[in-house]
Each structure stands twice: as C-alpha cells, then as structure tokens.
Structure 1
Amino acid sequence: MTLMTRRALISRGALAGGAAATGGMLLSGCDRLAENEQFRQILFSGEKINYHLQRLVVDRNALAPEFRPDQMSPRFRTNGTANPGTPEYGRMVAENFANWRLKIGGLVTKPTELSLPQLRSIPARTQITRHDCVEGWSAIGKWHGPTLKSLLQLAGVKPEARYVLFTCADLYGGKPYYETIDMTDALHPQTILAWAMNDRVLDVGHGAPVRLRVERQLGYKHAKYVMAIDAVPSLSGIGLGKGGYWEDRIDYDWFAGI
C-alpha cells in the first residue's frame, strides 16, 4: 500500500477535486457548517488522526525531498510578515543585528543567549527544499543554519519537554507572533534555524536574522524573525492554547505535516 502524504497531494494536484467540492459546499451553505461546533470538532479530530497516523507509520527521521541547485526557483516569495516594522526591529536592522540575542529557555538546564556571530559559529546544515505555502504557492530554496537539535542540546533540554515554542519579532495585535512544534519535529535532522538563504545572509523579507525551517510542515509553521526558543511541557498557556497564532485565530491545523 502506498502512503500518500500531504506533500504528494499538493505536488500531484490531487487537492483540485476537493477544492471544487468545497466550493460547491460554500455555495450551498458551508458557512453554516463552519459555525456548527459539532462539525468543527469533526474537523479537529481529523487533524489529530492525521497527526497520530503520520507519527505511527512515518519514520521519525524520514527526510523531506531535497533538490539540486539547478532546480531552485528563480523567485522565492515571502510568506507572512514582510517586515515587522517595529522601532525595536528597525534598530536591530540598522545595527546589522549586532545587539540581537537568541534566547533559549524553558525546560532546559542551561538557559542560553546567543549572538548572531555565535549562532553562525555553530556547525550548520545546508539543504535545498521545497516550501509549500497554505496560500497555494510553492518554491524551492537553499537554506543554511544549525539544527534546532544542536541548539536544544547546547541548552540542555530536559526530558519532560514535549514542545518547542518560538517567539518572534513581528507583532500581531500588539503581541509577538508565536508558533510551536513537537519534539519529534524539533529533533528532526532537517529542522534548522536558518541564517542564510540561497547562499546569502537572510534578508528582512524572509525572516532576518534567523527563521525556522521545519521541512515536513506547511509554510506557516516556519516561524520568521525568531527571538526566543522555549522548551515547554504542553500547549496550554500559549496564546489561546492551540499552539500558534494562526491556529488560535483562524483554526489552522496545529499539525501541518506534509
């Protein structure tokens, strides 16, 4: 039996039929379904089934596809915020991030702060992967930075940590953007904190000075402008409790595995 992942569905266009069916549902009153709590719970249970099924049948270290340099996209659009636009972030850009510090805390034995030169001195991974955006576009780019696993090990992550929280420089409603992943994705060999893209230092539009690359997830999980990383025991107490800004506000799936 062939396992069809969300990545395969996107790449093969197999969602087209589903999109057409969804459009018909919208025309016939799907809005009322979306307002129905029982229907919403069915959707959420489907996400949980997808999450547990993938964790059960997919190797924890299975790699997302990687590509050759000649396959890289000529244009890689920005997703989400294009510039945080805050005075604090503006100062960091003006200083070339000289005073930026990445804070690593939460359930760790050695809370750590890293400057950008210190982060860049850590052995790094380079990977050419495809970014699949929930907005319907994809692009292949080259990313370079240390694995998240190496950073968590540096800070001495504790065994009771189950999730990793990313707090970012861009603000939504006056509060920092946030996203989470579980420890399986956090320790995956392709999950990196990228400081370079396409052989250049990361630019503002793509998340400078560093952004998360979690290659087995859809694009909205790839937090940009990362300021702090915290190992946490659960999703409770983070935003509205669903694990991320978009998950809390417009019911995006917390698990966006592809």
Structure 2
Amino acid sequence: MNSKNRPTDPRRRRFLTRSLLAASAVLLTGCDRLTRSDTMGRLFDASSALTQKAQRLLASRESLAREYSPEDIAPTFRANGTTDPQDATYRRLAADGFRDWRLTVDGLVERPQRFSLDELRSMPSRTQITRHDCVEGWSCIGQWTGVVLSDLLAQVGVRDEARFVVFHCADRYRGGDAYYESLDMIEAYHPQTLMAYGLNGGNLPVANGAPIRLRAERQLGYKMAKYVMRIELVESFAHLGRGRGGYWEDRGYEWWAGI
C-alpha cells in the first residue's frame, strides 16, 4: 500500500491527539495573560494553526466522532455557559414556545432565508449519541437530533468566496458581549455537524440552548454555540467582535478546538 494512503495506526493517532491537546491546555490555562502580550499572542496563534494542521493530517474530512449506545446516555445532560438568556427578544420568543422564532441564514449565500422551528423539524434529520467534552475538564454523553448543517447550507446556496460559517446567538455570557462562534467549511459540511433541536428524545431545553444549538462533534464544547439566531457565511472575521472568530477566542482561546 502506498504510504501516502496508509491509514494511521489508531494508537499512534490517539497518542498524537492527546499530546496536541495537552499542549493546547497549557496555553489555555494562561489565556487571560496571553491576550495582554503581542509576542505570546503570536505564539498562541502559531500553536493553534499547528494543532489544526496536525489533526487534519491524522483524520480525513469525513472521519466521525465516536457514537455511543443508548445505555451510555447521561440521566441529565449537564448545561454549560449561559443557561437562561435574559435578552428581552429571546425571552418573549421562549414564552410563546418559539412559535415566532426564525433562524436567519445569510451573508455569502445565493438565497438568504429565514426558517421557523417547524420548518427545521420538517426537514430530514439525523440523530446521534455523542460525548460533549468541555475545556474545563468534564464530559457528558447525550442524544442529539437536528438538521444536518450541510443540508441547510444547500438550501441557501453557499457562494464560492465563503470560508467560514458564523453562529450568532441570543445570549450574552455573564451580561457581556453577545456570544458567537464559527467553523470552517470542512467542519460545517461534516456529516455529524447538526443544528440540534432535540436532546435525549425530547425538545431541546432552554438550559441546553433552545430552540436550536450547534453540535460540531469533532470540536470542544465552547465551539458548540447555543441559542442560535442567525447563521452568517463570511470570508473573514474582521467585522466580528475582536476579529478572532468567537466569543472565547476573542478572550484568548484557540479558534481551532478539534479533538
């Protein structure tokens, strides 16, 4: 077999992945200090790029995150980040069962659209049982149901110049800036990347991101935006936040959070 096409030994892949995560963790523990230093900021960006390139070398575009059995599902799925957004518009929508909520998909697309929750639920869906890994060190297994993001993007027609998918959210973490996150096009088109409206066989609870949240199963938990109100296709992050592609990235976390 040509060495270029030879599958990577799973044990070697796990070892390298853990090594890369360990290196990332060292940087993350000092993220507040890193943002105050241009030199360390450049080192942080270089480490993020190295981690992304290394993982992409070890895994194909279609490689799947592990999926679990129903027996593995946690009795209660732990909520992370904001659990009860105080935004007035969001609270009004939640009080009415999200009947008037609409997901806007726009930016670098051919056909900008707005989708109701019922419209999303009527589309072909995917259900998967996966593990959520938080950068704080905890994990939880849950069953997610939702629209595969690539199917949604196909409906709006992504323009060639689009490089990233940005998720704008209703919550403001601890009353600060509006939460947002982003993925590159490879992760956006991954078959396990969902806009999830269901958790463990029921509707997605508010604490876990209702009415929909992102599930990008090959990424750490802070990438999985909750309370998504708008999906924007962009060529760069220059006009967003502090230009780093996400709420926590603007505060020093790595943009690439692959596991």
Q: Give the SS at the match of 1:196.
A: strand
- Which consecutive unaligned segments of at least 5 residues does structure 2 have? 1-8
Counterparts of residues 122-201 of structure 1 (less than 5 Å): 122-172=123-173, 175-201=177-203
Cα deviation for residue 6 of structure 1 reads: 7.9
Q: Which residue of 1 aligns with 2:4?
A: none
Q: Is the 8 A contact 1:6 1:257 kept in 2?
A: no
User: For residues 5 and 189 of structure 1, do their structure 2 counterparts lie closer, same or farther at Cα, with a shift above 3 Å needed?
Assistant: farther
Where does structure 1 differ by over 3 angstroms across 4 or more consecutive aligned residues?
A: 5-10, 30-37, 172-175
Q: Is the 8 A contact 1:208 1:224 kept in 2?
A: yes
- Which consecutive unaligned segments of at least 5 residues does structure 1 have? none
Cα deviation for residue 238 of structure 1 reads: 1.3
Structure 2 counterpart of 1:72, which letter?
Answer: I
Cα deviation for residue 43 of structure 1 reads: 2.6
Instruction: Say if 2:228 is the partner of 1:252.
Output: no
Measured in 2, the distance between the counterparts of 1:240 and 1:31 equals 14
Tell me the TM-score normalised to structure 1 length. Answer: 0.87
Q: Which residue of 2 aligns with 1:92?
A: 93
Q: Give the SS at the match of 1:229.
A: strand
User: For residues 179 and 31 of structure 1, do their structure 2 counterparts lie closer, same or farther at Cα, with a shift above 3 Å needed?
Assistant: closer
Cα deviation code 1:168-190 (max 9, x no counterpart): 11125564211111000000000
Q: Which moved more, 1:82-91 or 1:149-158?
A: 82-91
User: For residues 155 and 138 of structure 1, do their structure 2 counterparts lie closer, same or farther at Cα, with a shift above 3 Å needed?
Assistant: same
Structure 2 counterpart of 1:50, which letter?
Answer: T
Measured in 2, the distance between the counterparts of 1:117 and 1:84 equals 22
Q: Is the 8 A contact 1:122 1:146 kept in 2?
A: yes
Tell me the TM-score normalised to structure 2 length. Answer: 0.87
User: For residues 18 and 214 of structure 1, do their structure 2 counterparts lie closer, same or farther at Cα, with a shift above 3 Å needed?
Assistant: closer
Q: Give the SS at the match of 1:127.
A: strand
Cα deviation code 1:8-61 (max 9, x no counterpart): 579xxx95x998x99xx99xxx99888543233223211111112222331001
Structure 2 counterpart of 1:40, which letter?
Answer: G
Cα deviation for residue 75 of structure 1 reads: 2.6
User: For residues 79 and 9 of structure 1, do their structure 2 counterparts lie closer, same or farther at Cα, with a shift above 3 Å needed?
Assistant: farther
Q: Which residue of 2 aligns with 1:210?
A: 212
Length, aligned pairs only: 247
Counterparts of residues 15-26 of structure 1 (less than 5 Å): 15=22
Q: For the aligned residues, what is the CA RMSD?
A: 2.7
Q: Which moved more, 1:173-182 or 1:77-86?
A: 173-182
